[in-house]
C-alpha cells in the first residue's frame, strides 16, 4: 500500500519515534497521545482492519509486544490498556491495523 501512512512509517519513509521493532512489526509513539504513554503497535504488512487479518501469528506478536513494552516501561503491574479500533463505529481513522497501548495514569472508567 504505497499511500498508507502507517506503511510509510513502517518502511521509515515517514518519521516516527520507534519504541520496539521486530522483523514483522513496529511500535511507535502516537503523534497525539491520549495518555502519558500512548504507543501504536502495528504489523509491517498492510491489513486495513482487524477483519482483514487472518495471520494469527502477527496478532499474537502484537500482544506479546504490548506485554514486553509494559515490562520495559515498568508499568506491567500498575496496568495499561490495549485497544484495536475497527471501522467507523469502532472509531478507526487510520486504515492499517494497529493496536493502541495506553498507560501511565489510571484509565479505569468509561470505554467510550
Ligand atoms: P485509530 O483512530 O485509527 O484507532 O488510531 C489512529 C491513531 O494514529 C491516532 O491515535 C492518531 O493520533 C495516530 N496517528 C495518526 N497519524 C499519525 C502519524 O502520522 N504518526 C503517528 N505517530 N501517529 C499517528
Ligand atoms: Zn498500510
Show which residues are catalytic. Answer: 98
10-residue stretch averages of pLDDT, the chain, 112 residues long: 93 98 98 97 98 98 98 97 97 98 88 66
Residue 112: predicted pLDDT: 61
Report the number of distinct structural domains present in the chain.
Answer: 1
* Residue in 3, 30, 46, 99 to alter for ligand 1 test, most ligand atoms within 8 A of Cβ: 30
Q: Is residue 33 part of a domain?
A: yes
97 C-alpha to ligand 1 centroid (Å): 11
Q: Is residue 67 part of a domain?
A: yes
Q: Is residue 110 part of a domain?
A: no
Q: Is residue 59 part of a domain?
A: yes
Q: What is the CATH number of the domain that holds 57?
A: 3.30.428.10
Q: Is residue 93 part of a domain?
A: yes
Domain span at residue 74?
A: 5-103
74 C-alpha to ligand 2 centroid (Å): 30
How many residues are recorded in the chain?
A: 112
Record the pTM.
0.97
d(CA 57, CA 15): 27
Q: Where does 1-112 show beta strands of DSSP type E?
A: 18-21, 25-29, 37-43, 80-83, 99-103
List the shell of residues around ion ligand 2, using CB closer than 5 Å: 1, 4, 6-7, 46, 96
Which ligand 1 atom sits nearest the alpha carbon of residue 98? 4
Q: Is residue 31 part of a domain?
A: yes
Q: Is residue 35 part of a domain?
A: yes
Amino acid at each position: 500500500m504505497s499511500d498508507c501512512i502507517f506503511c510509510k512509517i513502517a518502511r521509515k519513509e515517514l518519521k516516527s519515534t520507534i519504541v520496539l521493532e521486530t522483523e514483522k512489526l513496529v511500535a511507535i509513539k502516537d503523534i497525539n497521545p491520549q495518555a502519558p504513554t500512548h504507543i501504536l503497535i502495528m504489523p509491517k504488512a498492510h491489513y486495513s482492519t482487524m477483519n482483514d487479518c487472518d495471520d494469527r501469528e502477527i496478532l499474537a506478536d502484537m500482544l506479546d509486544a504490548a506485554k514486553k513494552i509494559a515490562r520495559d516501561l515498568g508499568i506491567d503491574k500498575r496496568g495499561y490498556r490495549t485497544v484495536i479500533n475497527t471501522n467507523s463505529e469502532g472509531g478507526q481513522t487510520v486504515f492499517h491495523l494497529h493496536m493502541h497501548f495506553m498507560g501511565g495514569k489510571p484509565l479505569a472508567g468509561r470505554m467510550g
